[in-house]
Structures are given as structure tokens and as C-alpha cells.
């Protein structure tokens, strides 16, 4: 008797939806043992990790706030990843987008025009696109690998933001601390539910994911991106320009990362500070793949990832779990989620050696 692994001819739809739950279940079981061994109340820990953030309107609104940038960036990155364009510098493009839109907000500080926010969004998107165009240019013109350029430019972007908030964009009344003035109302996103921080940008995040889904499913360029990713030879034969795809992948993902940065500074932050993002640009890479590079899947994986962060904080507050443990737990959750994909694409069969000859 032996185990035989073979690919499924068709991806199992049922398993596609079932495996994430299986993965969470396995994580819960492993976590239960882990927490118990470490002397923490396992029931409370699991409860506060996965359940309690979902039980109140406020908890759900925070989930939206945390998931929104991950979803916006994730759907953008997924476009590039599908076509093998490896933009891992969304973190930097987000930062430049935040700088561009923040500069607009500060330039029109005190202005009450309704046009301030749209202008900020445009500036943010353009900023992100402009920054992503550096790897795109170097890749298409000189063949310089975009993994290196986009990653290195992330550090440069953070330092550039630092230069600005320690210098020209510093709040004149802020005791020389590194932060800009607080934006005025016209430069701030409205809140959807009073008393929460759920800003209108979170709604846009969902709309953007749907829009990208439409773009990828129903348009020529979406078709080209998919072909280039799945069958490069066929794409060459069909005469699709590889360079166009590279530019497209980087500009869209950079622009969306810039928009995510805009929403962060115009939403929950409300000013420019030395560090805009706690690693959203990198986390969104995980989100993109967990969502299987599908915009609607990314919405779900974005929420799950956001929950794992918020749940981690919750478990620290409520159960006293050290952050190190929540990090290990989060890692385990991701491992199980990624591994469970296996069941979707392959089947494991128990084969009796005797019958094998017969079949």
C-alpha cells in the first residue's frame, strides 16, 4: 500500500472554499496546544484571536481599516504577479503616494474646497505610478531586474519621507518634532459610521477590487496579462509586447499602492509622520498569493490577514500573550493556509500495490 499524489484535472471548487476553513481549524488545534504548553488559557487566547474582533460593529470597522490598504495594494500586485512582473516595492510606492497627497493637503492647508481630496487622490496615484516607473524603465530599457530596484527604492522612499518631515514639511508649531501639521477637514476622508474610524477609503478598496476583477476578466489588456503569465510562448507568438505588460503591471500596482498611501494619511493618520506604513506593502504580497491572485479572493485574504494582526493585538491585551507568540501563531496560520492549497490542486490516493497493476 502506498500514497499516490496526482494533480487534479480540474481544480476542486468545493475544496477551494473548504480548505481555508480546514487551515484555520488546524491552526486553532496547533495554537491550542502551543498556548497550553506555554501556560496561557488556550480557550481565551483562541477566542480573542479569531472571534472577539468580529463581535462588535467597532471591531468590524477596525478590520475594514486594517484590511483596506492590504486589499488595494494586493489586487494591484496580483496583476503584475500574474504576468511575472515582480514588484516587491509597493511599500515604497505607498510612501511616495502618501508624500504626494500629503504635500497637496499641506499646500492647501485650511482650504475648504471639495476638490482637495480628489486632487490628493490624483497626486497619490501619480506619485505611486511615478515611483514604480523607475523599475519599469530600468527593466524595459536595460533589463535590470525589478526585484532589486523596487526593493531598494523602498528604503530610499522611507528616507525621503524622513528628510521631508524633519525638514520642509515639519509642523511649524510642533516643537521641532518630525511630523507635519494635522490636515484640515477638506483633506480628510469622511467616516462611514460615526464613532468608528471606517473611512470612505475602505469602501473604495472593495470597489477597486471589483473593478480590477472586471478589468482582468473582460478587457484585452487583462487577457494579455493572463496569457503572458500562463503561456509566455503563446503570448510572444500572438505578438503581445512584453514591455507593455511590464509597464502596465508596475504602473497599476504602483498607482494603487500610492492610493493606499493617500487613504492612510487622509484617513486614520491625518498628517505626515516619519513612517506611514507598518509593512503593508510587504504584507500585501502574502495577501495577493493567499487570495490566489484573484481580486475577489484578495478581499477575503485581506480580511483574514487583517484579522490575524488585530487578533494578535487582542490576544496581547486580553490574555497577555507576548507578541513573539502571536507572531509564531500568525506564521503557523499562514503555513497552514498555504499548505492547504495542496488539496485543491492535488489529490492523495491510497493505492494498493496489487491493484495498481490492474488499474
Size of the site for another protein (CB under 8 A): 90
**DSSP of 145-159, one letter per residue?**
-HHHHHHHHHHHHHH
Q: Which is nearer to another protein, 194 or 218 (CB)?
A: 194
Residue ranges of E strands in the chain: 2-7, 346-351
Going by C-beta distance under 8 Å and a sequence separation of 6 or more, which residues neighbour residue 134? 149, 153
Distances (CA, A) of 255 to 23, 113, 121, 297: 33, 24, 10, 21
- Region from 103-111, 139-147, 242-250, 350-358 binding another protein, contact rule CB under 8 A: 139-147
Q: Which of 110, 113, 118, 327 binds another protein (CB under 8 A)?
A: 327
Least distance in angstroms from the C-beta of 136 to another protein? 13
Is 33 near another protein (CB under 8 A)? no
Q: Which of 18, 138, 221, 351 binds another protein (CB under 8 A)?
A: 138
Least distance in angstroms from the C-beta of 8 to another protein? 11
Site mask for another protein (CB under 8 A), range 57-76, x = bound: xxx--x--xx----------
Q: Which of 1, 3, 7, 350 binds another protein (CB under 8 A)?
A: 7
Binding to another protein (CB under 8 A) within 194-223 occurs at 194-197
How far is residue 124's CA from residue 126's CA, in Å, rounded to a whole number? Answer: 5
308's grid cell: 490575524
Yes or no: say if 41 and 320 are a contact pair by the CB < 8 Å rule: no
Q: Which is nearer to another protein, 179 or 200 (CB)?
A: 179
Is 323 near another protein (CB under 8 A)? yes
Is 276 near another protein (CB under 8 A)? yes
Yes or no: say if 264 and 100 are a contact pair by the CB < 8 Å rule: no
Q: Which of 40, 166, 186, 347 binds another protein (CB under 8 A)?
A: 166
CA atoms within 13 A on the CB side of 324: 1
Amino acid at each position: 500500500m502506498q500514497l499516490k499524489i496526482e494533480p487534479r484535472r480540474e481544480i476542486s471548487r468545493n475544496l477551494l472554499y473548504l480548505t481555508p476553513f480546514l487551515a484555520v481549524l488546524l491552526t486553532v488545534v496547533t495554537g491550542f496546544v502551543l498556548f497550553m504548553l506555554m501556560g496561557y488559557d488556550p480557550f481565551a487566547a483562541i477566542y480573542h484571536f479569531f472571534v472577539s474582533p468580529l463581535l462588535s460593529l467597532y471591531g468590524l470597522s477596525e478590520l475594514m481599516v486594517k484590511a483596506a490598504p492590504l486589499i488595494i495594494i494586493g489586487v494591484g500586485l496580483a496583476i503584475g504577479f500574474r504576468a511575472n512582473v515582480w514588484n516587491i516595492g509597493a511599500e515604497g510606492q505607498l510612501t511616495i503616494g502618501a508624500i504626494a497627497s500629503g504635500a497637496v493637503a499641506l499646500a492647501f492647508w485650511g482650504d475648504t474646497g471639495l476638490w482637495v481630496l480628489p486632487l490628493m487622490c490624483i497626486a497619490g496615484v501619480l506619485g505611486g505610478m511615478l515611483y514604480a516607473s523607475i523599475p519599469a524603465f530600468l527593466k524595459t530599457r536595460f533589463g535590470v531586474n525589478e526585484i532589486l530596484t523596487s526593493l531598494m527604492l523602498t528604503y530610499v522612499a522611507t528616507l525621503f519621507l524622513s528628510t521631508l518631515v524633519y525638514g520642509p514639511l515639519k509642523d511649524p508649531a510642533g516643537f521641532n518634532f518630525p511630523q507635519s501639521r494635522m490636515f484640515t477637514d477638506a483633506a480628510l476622508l469622511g467616516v462611514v459610521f460615526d464613532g468608528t474610524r471606517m473611512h470612505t477609503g475602505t469602501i473604495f478598496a472593495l470597489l477597486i477590487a471589483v473593478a480590477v476583477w472586471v478589468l482582468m476578466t473582460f478587457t484585452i489588456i487583462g487577457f494579455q496579462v493572463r496569457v503572458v503569465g500562463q503561456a509566455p510562448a503563446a503570448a510572444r507568438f500572438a505578438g503581445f509586447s512584453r514591455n507593455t505588460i511590464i509597464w502596465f503591471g508596475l504602473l497599476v500596482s504602483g498607482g494603487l499602492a500610492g492610493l493606499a498611501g493617500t487613504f492612510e494619511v487622509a484617513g486614520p493618520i491625518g498628517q505626515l509622520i516619519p513612517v506611514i506604513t507598518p509593512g503593508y506593502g510587504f504584507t500585501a504580497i502574502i495577501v495577493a498569493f493567499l487570495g490566489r491572485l484573484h481580486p475577489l479572493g484578495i478581499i477575503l485574504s485581506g480580511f483574514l490577514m487583517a484579522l490575524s494582526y488585530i487578533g494578535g493585538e487582542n490576544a496581547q491585551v486580553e490574555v497577555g500573550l507576548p507578541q513573539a507568540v502571536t507572531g509564531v501563531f500568525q506564521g503557523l496560520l499562514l503555513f497552514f493556509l498555504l499548505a492547504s492549497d495542496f488539496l485543491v490542486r492535488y489529490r492523495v490516493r491510497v493505492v494498493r500495490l496489487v491493484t495498481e497493476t490492474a488499474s
